[in-house]
Amino acid sequence: MLTIDRLTVENLEHGCVTDNPKPRFSYTLSGTADAAVRDVTLTVGEWSCHPDTQIAYPYDGPALKPFATYPVELSVTDEQGVTVSATTSFETGRFGEAWAGSWITDGDYRFTDKKISPKPMSFRRTVAPADGKTVVRARLIATAMGVYEFALDGRKVGDRYFAPGFTSYKTNLQYQTYDVTEQLADGGEHTLIATVAGGWAVGSFVFTRVNRVTADRQALLAELRIDYADGTSEVIGTDADWDVTMDGPVEMADLYDGETYDATKAFGADGNAGGTRWRKAAIERPKTEPKRIEADYGAPVREHETFEPVSCKRRADGELIYDFGQNFAGVVRLEIAGASAGQVVTVRHAEILNPDGTLNTTFLRTAKATATYTCTAGDQTYAPRFTYMGFRYIAVRGIEAKQLKVTGVALYSELTRTGDFACSDERLNQLQSNIVWGAKSNLFDIPTDCPQRDERMGWTGDIAVFAPTACYDFDMSRFLDKWLRDVKAEQLPTGGIPNTVPVQGYGFPATMPEMAIAWWGDAVVLVPWAEYRARGDRSVLERMYEPMKKYVNACRFWAGLFGFGKHRYIWWMPTPFQFGDWVAPDVPKMQQWQARGKWTGTASLNNTARTLAQVARVLGHDDDAREYDELADRVADAYVSVFTDGNGKLNDEFQTAYVLPLHLGMFPDAATRDKAVNNLAALVESNGYKIGTGFPGTPYILFALADNGRPDVAFRMLANEQCPSWLYEVKMGATTIWERWDGLDEHGECPIGDDGTDLMISYNHYASGAVGAFLYQRVAGIEPIEAGYRKFHVKPLLGGGITWANGHVDTPYGRVGSAWSITGKRFDITVDVPFGTVCELTLPDGRTQELTHGSHTVTCEL
């Protein structure tokens, strides 16, 4: 007996609107032990086919029409002739059809201030379906220069934040489609109001607070498409008939500084408010014209978990300090009782408190992270819509606690949770929670570095090392597909990748035309590979293959530019910037981290070349595969020859310099590798089993030890509670991953001094959470052999006093599970194998067996 568990279009089960002329279909099956598939039929409209894969099967029927709805049916027949079916549908977008409307703006607004965001604009239009006609379908289609939100008759349209999303606007811009059929079905007049704030396109962004990068002022582009029962249609686009005002209730909106809202100016359902001066909108031509405006293809930011305060303390000056018990990215919702008109409530946000109990806002740098709300009379509710903060604590002024209920609302991209891990060590369970919350806080339309200070940029180095862990915890397919389009769009002519994507106003070194930066630019190779390994969709490799090649060739060029002999493969780029062993805790200064760039850069070239060879082999480019494998071999030989004594000992010893060649297999033989791993183990032991690695080494140090014969050292490092270590953060009460291992000392104070980073410390910075991959792959033992888990390992690694562990991953074929326990000298494991997959189980006693779909319990003696 078979069951269809999931059917998706473009990785969405429901609500897909796409401009892809060949949308992709995926499905997941489950079945009894004796079940087998005889036939699969996929029907899209009038077209049918028999897909040969469950993952991303592309439509290949008659050309799809724009603005249409297509039913989808999947039928699966088993060997006994029993057929099961599942249905869904999708809508097509514009397919390049010209907009009925034009870009509109406030033609009188001249925004010239520097380092701040513009005042939000509001647009209004009254619409009425044709008299005597029945509305059968109505869609509001919209985009903006800035971030927008629509209301229809006073009610918010849709549930997303920060539309149209953050993209490389000169190339890619998304539009959204909203179903408003129900609201318009009763006929009569209706009022549309759109509020457009500066966002990333016009507002203040990056730590230098650059504004007006994409446009000089906000602009809106939208159309309302109404289909009637008699087969006629009507399209109402943005034009000079729309009204505009700068007098709306949102008086200030800035990604860093927060939001100011005056409820006494709130629009009524008809769009009117006291004192509002409406005038006619002007047609606008933004200074940046995107090459493509496409139907939303990312993972929209929405509301998720909510948090009630775990404590509220009133200070002597009347300020209320709330603790939500969890560091997260989002906003607060204020429910105010019995307010007086004009009463002003101010909310400030921070990640940590000072020793005196006040908010520590020092590390926000220039970000004010403040919400200011002016009340109307009576009871009311407010939450910011055009900003967000990273925080655990808030300070509230202007109201008594008895008048106020506060709720924390987590905001992050719509990501399906696909994995989880737990074990007998509660400290590691908290670490897992910290990793997940660090990811949720920074998977915010783009992969940001942190959600609180004046940054929140798409740093490539963070996601390059974290992507494998992210792909265990979440279905990253739509999120990464969107971001990788911008990586491709912003690749430099010489092949380098900016170290933040989208660049959006960031200067040196992102704007240097020759720049290729090890481990940061590597994201163009490592992120698509991680996504492919997790989801099995080779189209991500096909789309990114040429950018990968261009980047690796650029790295090879810079390595060899001034080198001779084997030094041609030592990447110490002659341009002035590499991050090196970024935030390595064993050296205190930024310049010392960067000085390790020739070790980290050379290992990077080996890693990207070897990974590119694997990609080439998947795509059938065998000549390329041989070329890049040979390059990786030459780089490995150069690393060992130049940096070591040839016998497993580095000339200059530090943890990362051993970790990278060990993990990447760069040592020439087992004997040399064994000596190298023992030298690394000695370094770790002499350092009290504490972390000494920066960004490039931290994701791999436990693998480098455990996979090369020293799991004892790996588990002691994982379990260490001394600073710097993962569990030191847990011991200090962290609920997310820190940017710096020494973010707080034992007294709860931040010891960071003048190290050249301008007080760079975030307490919600997910890069070092890349250790999560070790928890899944070694402790739970789950790792794909074939992309998408068509074939996978379950091979738990025992150690660290852990007596049981559970892990699961929801793969494209279904749930993979590993649950093991130790009782005395008895080891028991239950493995869940999805339908259509094969598991290679390796027990601690060395025995292996092959398992097919079903749940299997196996025992051995230790």
The catalytic site residues sit at 455, 739
CA distances from 675 to 117, 216, 671, 679, 710 (A): 57, 60, 6, 6, 11
Can you give the length of the chain in residues? 862
> 75 φ, ψ to 5°?
-120, 130
Half-sphere exposure of 132 (CA within 13 A, CB side): 0
Q: Which residues contact residue 667 at a Cβ distance below 8 angstroms, ignoring those fewer than 6 apart?
A: 636, 640, 648, 661, 673, 676
The two structure tokens encoding residue 424: 């007998």
The two structure tokens encoding residue 652: 């200059």
Q: Residue 379: what residue type?
A: D
Tracing tokens 């087998």 back to the chain, one arrives at 36
C-alpha–C-alpha distance, residues 486 and 503, integer Å: 9
Let me know: does 658 contact 676? Beta carbons within 8 Å: yes
Instruction: Select from 178, 297, 283 the least CA-distant residue to 226.
Output: 178
Half-sphere exposure of 100 (CA within 13 A, CB side): 14
Burial of residue 155, with CB atoms counted within 10 A of its CB: 0-12 exposed, 13-18 middle, 19 or more buried: exposed
Q: Which residues contact residue 183 at a Cβ distance below 8 angstroms, ignoring those fewer than 6 apart?
A: 138, 152, 153, 155, 190
Helix then strand then coil, % of the chain, to nearest 5: 25, 30, 45
Q: Which residues contact residue 630 at a Cβ distance below 8 angstroms, ignoring those fewer than 6 apart?
A: none
Let me know: does 560 contact 502? Beta carbons within 8 Å: no
CA angle, 304 as apex, 302 and 309 as ends, to 5°?
130
The two structure tokens encoding residue 77: 């027949």
Q: Which residues pair with residue 254 across a beta bridge? A: 258
Report the phi/psi class of residue 67: left, alpha or beta, with left for phi > 0 and alpha for psi in -120 to 50: left
C-alpha–C-alpha distance, residues 750 and 486, integer Å: 36
H/E run at residue 24: strand 24-31
C-alpha–C-alpha distance, residues 593 and 35, integer Å: 56
Q: Which residues contact residue 98 at a Cβ distance below 8 angstroms, ignoring those fewer than 6 apart?
A: none
Q: Quote the DSSP letter at residue 777.
A: I
Let me know: does 571 contact 496? Beta carbons within 8 Å: no
C-alpha–C-alpha distance, residues 8 and 18, integer Å: 13
Let me know: does 105 contact 165? Beta carbons within 8 Å: no
Cis, peptide link before residue 164, omega less than 30° from 0: yes
Q: Which residues pair with residue 49 across a beta bridge? A: 42
C-alpha–C-alpha distance, residues 109 and 105, integer Å: 8
How many Cβ atoms sit within 10 Å of the Cβ of residue 665? 15
Q: DSSP string of 262-285?
A: EGGG---TTS--TT---EE-EE--
CA terminus-to-terminus distance, the chain: 38
CA distances from 750 to 350, 391, 486, 734 (A): 14, 17, 36, 13
Tracing tokens 């973010």 back to the chain, one arrives at 743
Q: Residue 586: what residue type?
A: D
Q: Which residues contact residue 134 at a Cβ distance below 8 angstroms, ignoring those fewer than 6 apart?
A: 185, 228, 229, 230
Q: Which residues contact residue 112 at a Cβ distance below 8 angstroms, ignoring those fewer than 6 apart?
A: none
